[in-house]
Amino acid sequence: MCRRFDVPYDAAAEGDPWSSGGWYRAKEVVPPGPLLEPWSPLFRSIGFRGFFRLVGVMTPTGPVVTGADADWPSDAVPLDRTAEFLQHLAA
């Protein structure tokens, strides 16, 4: 999924650890961030509201994502779109 959004990803990358997360609301990410913003159109299209966090490492060429997690209130993903949401995240 990271590659789809031009976000550098390598689960085996090594370097100094970092993390970046934000709350996705109806029309904004709080706080905004360069690696978080590319996910906004996907999350908006499926109605996702919640916290999304990327973790990774700093490499000589810049930040690289090694993983991600999300947390959302039970009413944040419309019930009839939960499967679609999970499929988009897994793609």
Residue 27 CA neighbour count, 13 Å, CB half: 0
Q: With bands split at pLDDT 50, 70 and 90, how would you rate the model's confidence at 58? A: very high
User: Dihedral of CA 76/51/66/36: which sign?
Assistant: positive
Query: Considering the entire predicted model, what is its pTM?
Result: 0.77
pLDDT tens string 59-80: 999 999 999 998 888 766 666 6
Higher-confidence residue of 14 and 3: namely 14
8 class by beta-carbon count within 10 Å (0-12 exposed, 13-18 middle, 19+ buried):
middle
